[in-house]
Amino acid sequence: MSLHEEAAGILGTHVTWEDVEDEVRQSFGTQARFGENKKATNIGDMKGFMSKIALIEPDWTCESENLPEKFVIKISSQLAFVAMSKLIKFGGENGLSEEKLRIFDKIVIDLHNREVEAYRFFSKTPQAYAIPLIKIYGSRKFSAENPLKAFLISEYVENVKNLPIYESLDPLEVEKIIKNIAKFSSFGEIFDTKSELNFAAGPEFLAKILTEFGDDKLRVTSYQMLRQSFPEEYRDKVDKLIEIYRFLMSPGHIAKLHGICDFLGFRPVLLHGDLWPGNLLFTEETTKLRAIIDWQAVCFGAPAQDSGRFFITVLSAENRRKHLNHLLEVYYQEFVENVEKAGAKVPYTFEQLRKSYQLMFPLLTTMVLPGILRFANLAQGTEEEKLRIHDLALEKAVGMMEDVIQTHQNNLIEFSDFYNL
C-alpha cells in the first residue's frame, strides 16, 4: 500500500470514518458520535495536488453540544497528483511512473508533518493572531506506526474561493497580502530557530523540490507543454525560454540555490515557501483575503522566494512591471517594522531584497509558466468564457516569458560571479 494508490477510505484514501471521528471527539472532548447520514464531499479538485480535501458533515448523534455541523479534512495523499499528471500528461502519456510516485510519497510525508508543526507553532504564538489563518480542530502526523493515515481537520469557511492561476488581483489587494507574509517572515528573527522554528526546512529545500519535480523526463514534458501551449507566433521566444530553463534547471545551477543568501550577503529568512493563489482563500464576492493556508513548505531561504512567486502568479504582466518596486518596498517596510518592534536586527537591506528578486525571478517562473496555459484550457464554461480565460492566461504567460528572457540576460551580466561566468 502507498499514498498514491486508491484505498477504501474517505475519498479513496486510507483514512477511515473511525479515524476522523476519534480525532474530532478527542479534540472537542465529546461523547457524541457521527450519525448514519454522515457525508464526505470532495471540495479539492484542482485546488491542490498533494492531498484530498473533503467537506465533512458528521450528522452528530447529540445536538445539544456546541459541535461544528461541518468541517474540512485535508488528507495527505497523491491521488490528486496522479490524476493531474495523467490529465496533462505530466511525466509521459500515462502520467508519472511508479518509481517517481514512490519518491513523491516521501515528499508528501515530509510536507504534511511540517504543516502540522507549523499550525502547532501558530496555536501557541500570540503574534500569529495578526495573520489570517484557519482554525485547526485536530491532526495526525505520519510516523513509523502511522505510515498512511495523516490528516489535518479544520474549520469550514463558507463563501470563499481560490483565485484561478489565470486571474489577477488589484495591486492594492496584493499589498495587504504581502504585509501578512512579511509579518510571518519576521518571526524568523524573533523566535528561536533551533527550538521554536525547528520544523522549518533549511535553505536547501527549494533545490530539493526542484530536483525531484524537475528531473530529465519531467523537464522534457514541461518543455513539450510550453511548445504546445503557445501559439506559433511565439515559437522563437519559447525556444529562448526553454534554453534558459535548461540552464536554470541544470544540476550545476540547482546546486547553487542554497547559497543565494550568502552570495548576496545576508542569512536565510523564514518563508511560507509555497505562496501562490492556490494557497490563499478569498471571500467569494469581494476577493478579500480570508486566510493563508498550506504551510507545508515553510523553510528558510531568500525573501524573494515568497514575494517573487506570489507576484508572478497574482499580478497581470502590466501591473507586475508597473508596481514591482513599490510592492517590494511595502513588503520590506512591513518586515522591518515587525522585526524592529520586537527589538531584533533586520537581516537584509532593501537593495538585497531587490537583488534576490531579480536573481530568483526567472527560476521561480519554472513552477508556473509551463502549466498556466494548459490549466486554462481545462477551464469550464461557455465558449465566450473559455476564450476570456485563454486570453487572460496568454497575456500573463507571454509577459512572464518576455520578462524571463530579459531578466536572465541582465542577470548573466550583473551576477556573473554567481553563475561562475
Q: Are residues 172 and 151 in the same domain?
A: no
Determine the pLDDT at residue 94. Answer: 62
265 or 88, higher pLDDT: 265
pLDDT score of 160 more than 70? yes
Residue at a domain's end among 102, 125, 156: 156
Supply the range of the domain harboring residue 331: 160-421
Q: Are residues 196 and 66 in the same domain?
A: no
Angle, CA of 162, 166 and 91, to the nearest 5°: 95
C-alpha dihedral sign at 358, 360, 364, 366: positive
Alpha-carbon span 247 to 403, nearest angstrom? 16
Residue at a domain's end among 113, 131, 156: 156
Determine the pLDDT at residue 35. Answer: 96
Alpha-carbon span 171 to 183, nearest angstrom? 19
pTM: 0.93
> 3-class secondary structure for 380-406?
CCCHHHHHHHHHHHHHHHHHHHHHHHH
Alpha-carbon span 375 to 162, nearest angstrom? 14
Task: Give the pLDDT band of residue 421 (cuts 50, 70, 90).
Answer: low
Determine the pLDDT at residue 211. Answer: 87
Look at the chain and report how many structural domains it folds into.
2
Which value, in Å, is the radius of gyration of the alpha carbons in the chain? Answer: 22
Which has the closest alpha carbon to 49: 77, 9, 71?
A: 77
pLDDT score of 116 more than 60? yes
Determine the pLDDT at residue 377. Answer: 81
CATH of residue 399: 3.90.1200
Q: Are residues 68 and 217 in the same domain?
A: no
3-state secondary structure of 270: strand
Task: Give the pLDDT band of residue 406 (cuts 50, 70, 90).
Answer: very high
Determine the pLDDT at residue 156. Answer: 97
Intra-chain end-to-end CA distance of the chain, in Å: 48
pLDDT score of 47 more than 70? no
Q: Are residues 213 and 347 in the same domain?
A: yes
Q: How do residues 370-403 score in pLDDT, each as one tens digit?
A: 889 888 887 888 999 999 999 999 999 999 999 9
Determine the pLDDT at residue 99. Answer: 77
Task: Give the pLDDT band of residue 415 (cuts 50, 70, 90).
Answer: very high
Q: Are residues 250 and 329 in the same domain?
A: yes
Q: Are residues 149 and 164 in the same domain?
A: no
Residues 6+ apart with CB under 8 A from 220: none
Q: Are residues 198 and 148 in the same domain?
A: no
Q: Are residues 321 and 392 in the same domain?
A: yes
Which has the closest alpha carbon to 116: 108, 127, 104?
A: 108
Q: Are residues 123 and 208 in the same domain?
A: no
pLDDT score of 119 more than 70? yes
pLDDT mean across residues, the chain: 92
Determine the pLDDT at residue 177. Answer: 97
Determine the pLDDT at residue 98. Answer: 76
Lowest mean pLDDT, pick from 82-91, 258-267, 376-385 = 82-91
Determine the pLDDT at residue 50. Answer: 83
Determine the pLDDT at residue 88. Answer: 58
The secondary structure element, H or E, covering residue 51 is strand 51-57
pLDDT score of 186 more than 90? yes
Which has the closest alpha carbon to 56: 149, 139, 155, 141?
A: 155
According to DSSP, the residues that pair with 39 across neighbouring strands are 57
Mean pLDDT of 110-122: 98
**Cell representation of residue 115:** 504543516
- CB hemisphere CA count around 297 (13 angstroms): 21
Q: Report how far apart, in Å, the C-alpha atoms of 182 and of each of 73, 241, 311, 358 are.
A: 28, 31, 14, 18
pLDDT score of 260 more than 80? yes
- DSSP letters, 304-368, are HHHHHHHHHHHS-HHHHHHHHHHHHHHHHHHHHHHHHHTTPPP-S-HHHHHHHHHHHHHHHGGGT
Mean pLDDT of 137-153: 97
Q: Are residues 245 and 262 in the same domain?
A: yes
pLDDT score of 345 more than 90? yes
Q: Are residues 119 and 173 in the same domain?
A: no
Which has the closest alpha carbon to 112: 64, 77, 73?
A: 77
Q: Are residues 224 and 371 in the same domain?
A: yes
Residue at a domain's end among 88, 121, 156: 156
421 or 220, higher pLDDT: 220
Task: Give the pLDDT band of residue 91 (cuts 50, 70, 90).
Answer: low
3-state secondary structure of 205: helix
- State phi, psi for 137 to the nearest 5 degrees: -95, -25
> Could you tell me where the DSSP H helices lie in 17-123?
17-28, 79-87, 98-123
Q: Is 373 exposed, middle or buried (0-12, 13-18, 19+ CB in 10 A)?
A: buried
Q: Is 227 exposed, middle or buried (0-12, 13-18, 19+ CB in 10 A)?
A: middle
98 or 327, higher pLDDT: 327
- For the ranges 28-32, 77-81, 101-105, the one whose mean pLDDT is highest: 28-32
3-state secondary structure of 155: strand
Lowest mean pLDDT, pick from 94-108, 156-170, 370-384 = 94-108
